[in-house]
Amino acid sequence: MFEIKHTLCPSCSVGCGINVILDNDEVVGTFPYKRHPVNEGKNCLNGRNSVERFNDKIGSDIDLDKAIMEISKEINDSDKVTVLLSGNNSLEEASAIKSFSDENNFNIAFYADDLGNFEDVASYNDVENASNVLIIGDILCENPLVGRRIVHAKQNNAKIFSNIKAEKSVTANISDEVSSSSVGEFLDKYSNLDDSSVIVFNTVDSAEDLDKIRNSGLKVLPVYSKPNTKGVLSIVEDNSKDELIEVLNDTDVLLVVNDNIVDEIDFDFKSISKIISLSAFENDTTKISDIVIPIKSWLEYDGSFVNAMGDTQNFSGVLESDVSSVFEIFEKINN
């Protein structure tokens, strides 16, 4: 049976809608979700690929009960267990993981791209209507559907100033001024902008930059790399890269829930005696994990993500699946 169903893109925090094409309950492609207010049917390559790569899911042919027993043993035997939350976790999953971790007195860690948490953030409309846009990072390429709002701002006569380390970029192509200085110098240079200016950023050099951004008096929009980082920030505090490394240095058993931390931080993961991954897809973290438990992907369960501008969006599973959910796995471990 041919069907087209709505879901959300899981590939960054912009929160685009995307339609999935199913043929006899198999994911065969994507279709523009033109009714979605965030992206109006437009998705970048990463977004479309996230659906296309669905078929590379980790197979569910493991002895789950045995694996759960092993995990229970590992986490009971150690008093240095760290649970790593992820911006890939839905709000509901993140709450459940937090409770699980609290009940068992585990450490909880969460990395939010070193972008910190901002209570008040600019909306995408604020970006479009800004008088000036300060861009830090190659937003047009990396988060194109926020990049599009910056293009609109330019069409509305905003001035665009960008700070990009790469020599060439599309973001630079649309900017009035481009700098490759440190983020701090860049922010200092444009510290006198009027208050309808917006800072859009997906990277910074240091925590001091975040303070500068906070104190700029301008509207700000941090654009995280994962769909629900903003949502998880409402549940736990984030750790900077340095803090995370400190936590990992003091970890014997690391439980990673749907994340690929290995690709994000420079750390010798061999120093951790057991790494357990719950993941829908294979990645560099599952590759080095001692135990890998397949879990449902976002196409197989209902949940919600909070996008970069703070809107909570619900999504529904588009496929039935026998694979366990994060909730079921934790329940089993607890029992």
Partner 1 sequence: MSYILAKSKNEDILKAGECGGAVTSIFKYLLDEGIVDGVLALSPHDDVYDGIPTFVTNSEDLINTAGSYHCAPTMIGDLIQKYFADKKVAVAVKPCDIRSIDELIKRHKINPDNIYTVGLNCGGTVSPVSGRKMIDLFYEASPDDVISEEIDKGQFIIELADGSEEAVKIHDLEKEGYGRRNNCQRCDVKIPRKANIACGNWGAEDGWTFIEINDDKGQKLIDGAKKAGILETKSPNEAAIEGRAKVEKIMIKMSKKNQEATYPLVNEVEEWNRCIGCYACRDVCPICWCYKNCELSKSYFKDDIIASPMPIAFQGVRLSHMSFSCVDCGQCDDVCPMDIPVSLVFDKLQKKYQNRTGYLAGVSDDIKPPLYSPDKVEL
Contacting positions for ligand SF4 (CB under 6 A):
9, 11-12, 14-16, 39, 43-44, 46-47, 143-145
H-helix or E-strand spanning residue 298: none
3-state SS string for 178-245 = EECCCHHHHHHHCCCCCCCCEEEECCCCCHHHHHHHHCCCCEEEECCCCCCHHHHHCCCCCECHHHHH
By CB under 8 A, tell whether 165 contacts partner 1.
no
Type of residue numbered 62: I
Kindly tell me which of 16 and 158 has the beta carbon lying closer to ligand SF4.
Answer: 16
* Residue 169 contact partner, candidates partner 1, ligand SF4, none, CB within 5 to 8 A by sort of partner: partner 1
CA separation for the pair 117, 110 (Å, rounded)? 12
CA separation for the pair 251, 275 (Å, rounded)? 10
Place of tokens 């999935």: 20
Kindly tell me which of 145 and 323 has the beta carbon lying closer to partner 1.
Answer: 145
Determine which residue in the list 63, 105, 120, 168 makes contact with partner 1, applying CB under 8 A: 168
H-helix or E-strand spanning residue 64: helix 64-77
Kindly tell me which of 15 and 87 has the beta carbon lying closer to ligand SF4.
Answer: 15
By CB under 8 A, tell whether 145 contacts partner 1.
yes
Kindly tell me which of 100 and 124 has the beta carbon lying closer to partner 1.
Answer: 124
Please choose, out of 61-69, 137-145, 201-209, 216-224, the segment that lies near partner 1 by the rule CB under 8 A: 137-145
H-helix or E-strand spanning residue 59: none
CA separation for the pair 71, 253 (Å, rounded)? 9
Q: Would you state the torsion angle of the CA atoms of residues 16, 22, 25, 28, taken in this order, to the nearest 10 degrees?
A: -100
Kindly tell me which of 116 and 147 has the beta carbon lying closer to partner 1.
Answer: 147
Q: How far is the CB of 165 from partner 1 (least distance, A)?
A: 15
Q: How far is the CB of 222 from partner 1 (least distance, A)?
A: 20
Contact residues: partner 1, CB under 8 A: 1-4, 6, 19, 21, 23, 28-29, 31-32, 34-37, 39-45, 48, 140-141, 144-145, 147-148, 151-152, 168-170, 173-174
